[in-house]
Structure 1
């Protein structure tokens, strides 16, 4: 795309933004509780439109070259991202669920589930790529110093004669296998010739031979034609890749190349702009600074004169007010009776106030409105031909710097005030960040995170959420919903300090689900998408480290101190239920899992908006923990149930493709998705890896994959759910039943959490209201 195309995209985005800002004011008005569904619909519609706007601003900001426009776009991008997070919180408050059903809204707005995908701004990683690379080099250097002899011990020495004998054995075995295959083919051909000699050749007449050849040839042509028609149909509906895929890939690669070129131009123009800002600031401070000082002195003198006259007028008003108060005191007795009546009326109105839905005031809307006004006043009517090379606008720059210089002079005139802000007690005042960082790496509390993209956590959308809600059934979140929540609660907040400061503060989240649901994968994805450090405070990792009561306090202090100084950071606690055990089992008493419980709670409370540090816990057995303590530490609890049919279809297809295999028509993905009901993504991946060995991959050209080949591996993968034991290949239902029981237990536990209790209470109130309504209707009929 050209610069003009991005300019037009920016202009159309501001048209949409103006429409959304017009919808914000009516949303602040209170809505009666009986109109709850329409209120939720308006919130969801606004949320989806802001998501689309975020996607547009991210595209324009990533490719716009002009430095002043990019600064405005950055403010708008962060403001819109913050508003998306605010609306997400409002949706959760209104729906009393972490996964509100938006399928009906998507359908009415004629959008697709792809429009619900949370876009992760590209600048999260681009702007800190250097820092992430340097941090990775430091971490690798420290780790290499820890085990210098490991690489030498990994290679076992072997004598030359032994190596030759080993190679000879392998070569002879290879030749033996080839010879056996060759002899098998010879015997097969000999057996075929023997049968032909015994049975004799079947003699055809000329007509019979011609008819036979025609049948075979016409059948071959028709099958080929049918196969081609079916492939054309599948390509048309998007179920198979088009034959011009190579051409498309070349076009995409060329577009990516131009994107990289534009990013290089951004860096050049930014350096020029930075130099021009310094020059303009110095010039204005030297030429216009003295005049500004004189003007301010004159304004201060005029202000003192006006204040003096206002003071005299206020004294006169005070005297008049005293006389009026004496007259009013006589009428107070009469008004007391009226007030008692009004008090009863106000108490009656309180019930109405409690049953009102209203959106909280936004921190992001003023920032978005200011950015929109700046666009309208400065950039909307500016012709692009003025700056064809995308250089900065000198007049706009001087105007901005003039305001900055004036503000600096004004600050010099006013004395500064000391703020009495309390600070956390530093237990390591004489330690450098580098030494603390190295200490955490050596002790294993700071780890290198694997590179995992959030989009790799695949899953499909919940298409029947609204239908299930209308049928009084609780819709369970899909893998798509889980990925979206992680992107909203963790990635967007940790990626930018401005977004973190504006968005509702969330310090911690807890991922709850059976083993194999990809909880650790999501933690790694958050670190990958934001470039965050990964700290591991899992109970099993703390065994023997920083012993004693003071040791636990020191450990938590160092982790949170380094996490704040090297933002963004993720503090992960695996098996999070162990920190809040109801009763510590005998096998876990040695590690003392509850020793960091108090210090962890205190450290979390000290995190403020702008501290891009997040605690992420993962657990598959939350029932073992004290629910109050667990919910007090973890502010958001995301329940991860087993994948539904749509998500299993996507999982099978993507995981098989990841092994380098393109699924064909012989492989029934739908059948695999049905038979794997009750299995987690981890079990499906295990079955695929076991089935698609190197030998099986070599046989794909002659023997395509079929669904029945995976049944044995599925049974073996699912046997771990029952605690081991053999499971027959023809039965995969016992694992499904075991996992279903485990999931029901997790679901019952989730309904005991604060948000789960509210959701259950709301549904019970709805049922009672419907029963009362039906009872009234029956009475009327009688």
Structure 2
């Protein structure tokens, strides 16, 4: 697809976010509490669906757009949208107190299909960490290969045998071999004799040319007719849309061409990203060379002017703000604030007459309004959306989009490379901050020299008496610090701990499984059943959505993980063969997580005692945090609390992890 199409899709997604912010998130008047739970649920579910539609558009745009500066803004918006979806899920849970939420009736009203609102797994979860994941996978593979080599080189037990026993064993096998050959030879002779006898009884077959040609024609016509009928049936099925057309070469299919285009765009993204990073340094150097001296001189002139104005007003030079206070930047902020206050005072004098009239009117109304105070104090009970951690992010992104990209003319930038003017605007701020620090140091020295020169002129060379040092105030009592966890392995590196856990079978290699391989249907009658008082059985589609919301989306992005509500643990139950381990493998595959297997059968007798268990948990959490994301799997978790596991109930670890 073209650059224009993805730009249009981005604008559409941005418009959807803007509508949501205006209607629900940041309305002009605060919303009233909703007492009806059904209405509240429909409102939150509608917002959830609309955010999901925006999420799908942004995810595709971020994956396929090649403009590096646009992709950074889209990524910011994408993280905010994911976080808001998770917050909406939390709101749905607080309304119904149920893990599964059904809105098939809303999809019908909004004329959407389940495929339209399926939560996609962002592809940048893996693509942006591809190098780290490859190195980790390579390390795991090398450790497992070493373990296999060590197992293969173990000395086998030698079998002792006397010479007579060896000769006897060879004789037995040789006699058996000769007997088998003799029996096979006799069988062949017998079969050949029977064939010769039957051919003598039948005689030679009498077949003329006409009969032979007729038989050949008969067989060929039957074969050709059957082939023609099969071709006609295949064409009919394709015409009716019941079968796909047979393509001789996969290179000419639309899916193949689309996949190739996506791969080409990914390559262009990498190229443009490198060019953008190089441009950041080159543009900064040019600005420092061309605009840096002028900016420095202008700052010095402004600060000197401030010296003179302050001396004229107070009779002495001012104290220069410290670096902690902001330096010269704090000076100009104060001046701007003073100007703003002066402007407000000027406006206030003009409006005094009006205020006097308003006070009289308010005095009359105040007596009447006293009666209604009790009603205002009592807050109305009902459902109100909880404060969000991601609405400010979405609002900032929307403002950035409106000011930078909404009306920007990109007719010249057909290849969608980086915009140099935007880089200049960003780098000017950095250069100004760096130059300001240098100027502050110079101007502090200059101010110090000015003060010394004035003191010499006035004859104040003598040092004044030193004032008594004030008594040091008592230091406030430090708050009690929480106990820090002891590092049981301070002298060992993460790689060393990782290697040990792999050798002990705690870290296991997870098979590559995509969540899309967990196939199932959507339940279209769930809402109807729930309204009838029947709790519906969750479908495979609902299970996939729940796993995506609770496991994959919070772990895939650090920005989302820090702010979004997430559940640290999840229990998957069900009969054998429903796909519990497949979901576990899909979670690890989609986010590139390490898999720690703490199944009771797997850790039994490996780290015995309380000290051993503490060491195991310490190693697991230390490696898991250092090389996040990580998933801890505890199979047959109920056996952890059994005092004694029956022999008949012992389950070996599934070979799927080994």
TM range (shorter): 0.5 to 0.7
Q: Secondary structure at the match of 1:509?
A: coil
Change (3 A) 1:96 1:276: same
Conserved 8 A contact 2:49-2:117: yes
Match of 1:143 in 2: 144
Match of 2:346 in 1: none
Conserved 8 A contact 1:51-1:119: no
Deviations 1:758-781 (A, max 9, x none): xxxxxxxxxxxxxxxxxxxxxxxx
Distance 1:452 1:463 in 2: 27
Change (3 A) 1:93 1:248: farther
Change (3 A) 1:3 1:306: closer
1:563, distance to aligned residue in structure 2 (A): 0.7
Change (3 A) 1:405 1:576: farther
Alignment of 1:642-721 (within 5 A): none
Distance 1:281 1:6 in 2: 30
1:458 equivalenced with 2:556 (yes/no)? no
Give the unaligned 5+ runs of structure 1: 156-160, 188-215, 311-337, 594-618, 620-681, 683-782
Distance 1:224 1:362 in 2: 62
Match of 1:62 in 2: 63
Match of 2:296 in 1: 290
1:425, distance to aligned residue in structure 2 (A): 2.5
Distance 2:609 2:649 in 1: 13
Alignment of 1:147-166 (within 5 A): 147-151=148-152
Conserved 8 A contact 2:83-2:563: yes
1:487 equivalenced with 2:548 (yes/no)? yes
Change (3 A) 1:107 1:307: closer
Q: 2:259 aligns with which of 252, 256, 259?
A: 256
Distance 1:54 1:254 in 2: 25
1:119 equivalenced with 2:120 (yes/no)? yes
Change (3 A) 1:405 1:547: farther
1:92, distance to aligned residue in structure 2 (A): 1.5
Change (3 A) 1:245 1:531: farther
Distance 2:338 2:258 in 1: 68
Match of 2:579 in 1: 518
Match of 1:300 in 2: 330
Deviations 1:316-353 (A, max 9, x none): xxxxxxxxxxxxxxxxxxxxxx999988x799x46x52
Match of 1:19 in 2: 19
Q: 2:276 aligns with which of 273, 276, 279?
A: 273
1:241 equivalenced with 2:227 (yes/no)? no
1:393 equivalenced with 2:399 (yes/no)? no
1:527 equivalenced with 2:588 (yes/no)? yes
1:119, distance to aligned residue in structure 2 (A): 0.6
Match of 2:539 in 1: 478
Q: Secondary structure at the match of 2:411?
A: helix
Change (3 A) 1:406 1:499: farther
Distance 1:420 1:76 in 2: 40
Conserved 8 A contact 1:31-1:39: no
1:26, distance to aligned residue in structure 2 (A): 7.0
Q: 1:538 aligns with which of 581, 588, 599?
A: 599
1:380, distance to aligned residue in structure 2 (A): 1.9
* TM-score of the two chains, using structure 2 as the length reference: 0.68
Distance 1:229 1:90 in 2: 52
Conserved 8 A contact 2:276-2:418: yes
Q: Secondary structure at the match of 1:446?
A: coil
Give the unaligned 5+ runs of structure 2: 157-170, 199-221, 303-325, 342-368, 442-477
Distance 1:264 1:563 in 2: 32
Change (3 A) 1:584 1:86: same
Greater Cα radius of gyration, structure 1 or 2: 2
1:558, distance to aligned residue in structure 2 (A): 1.4
Match of 1:31 in 2: 33
1:370 equivalenced with 2:396 (yes/no)? yes
Conserved 8 A contact 2:114-2:522: yes
Conserved 8 A contact 2:251-2:257: no
Match of 2:485 in 1: 425
Match of 2:134 in 1: 133
Alignment of 1:267-666 (within 5 A): 267-284=270-287, 287-288=291-292, 290=296, 294=300, 297-301=327-331, 349=378, 352-353=380-381, 356-406=382-432, 424-427=484-487, 428-579=489-640, 581=641, 584-587=643-646
Distance 2:260 2:519 in 1: 27
Change (3 A) 1:572 1:68: same
Conserved 8 A contact 1:494-1:500: yes
Change (3 A) 1:458 1:293: farther
Q: Secondary structure at the match of 1:87?
A: helix
1:4 equivalenced with 2:30 (yes/no)? no
Q: Secondary structure at the match of 2:583?
A: helix
Change (3 A) 1:392 1:590: same
Q: Secondary structure at the match of 1:535?
A: strand
Match of 1:653 in 2: none
May I ask how many residue pairs the two structures share in their alignment? 513
Q: Taking CA–CA contacts closer than 8 Å with sequence separation of 6 or more, which of the two structures ends up with the larger relative contact order?
A: 2
1:260, distance to aligned residue in structure 2 (A): 1.1
Distance 1:291 1:91 in 2: 59
Change (3 A) 1:153 1:590: same
Change (3 A) 1:232 1:390: closer
Q: Secondary structure at the match of 2:595?
A: strand
1:151, distance to aligned residue in structure 2 (A): 4.9
